[in-house]
Amino acid sequence: MNSHQNHPGEHGPAEDPAPQGEDLAALLERLLGKAPGKTQKDLATEAGIRYVTLNAWMNRKRGTSRIEGDVLWKLIEAFRRWGVPVVPREFFEAVGRRVPGRADEEREKRLLTLYRQLPEERQRDVVKYVEAAMRVSRVS
């Protein structure tokens, strides 16, 4: 007997998979419909993103292909806190992005992105900090 194999980031089988070709606006509209009494403003607040940005995505006035994975995860977690079953794959596919791999790969990518944004002096500080943390963890 075969069991359902989950994709990275999924907690179980999708109860209501996204229709093929569903964009972010359609996905958010559908999921908001499953959260009685919740509005776009509630979602923006819950996810910690600007309402005008969310509204522009939902009205298709702003592109979604460059949305950071962290922002998608904030939206996912907001719906989950409201008890709306969501599958991360739906969000990433809705913005035309590859579904993230293992969590450690995502952390490494995020760390590298942040590191590259730092001035060179701060990058050196980060390297020193990590080297010190490695020495401490070897002793423990």
| Token pair for 49 | 């993103």
Q: Are 82 and 94 in contact (CB under 8 A)?
A: no
3-state helix/strand/coil string of 77-120: HHHHHCCCCCCHHHHHHHCCCCCCCCHHHHHHHHHHHHHHHCCH
* Domain over 24-94 is classified CATH 1.20.120: no
**pLDDT score recorded for residue 13:** 37
Which pLDDT does position 33 carry in this prediction?
Answer: 95
Domain locations in the chain?
24-94, 103-139
| pLDDT value at 9 more than 60 | no
Note the pLDDT of residue 22: 87
Residues 6+ apart with CB under 8 A from 79: 31, 35, 43, 86
Who has greater pLDDT, 1 or 44? 44
**Taking the model in full, what pTM does it have?**
0.59
Residue 74 CA to residue 136 CA, distance in Å, equals 33
Please give the mean pLDDT across all residues of the chain.
82
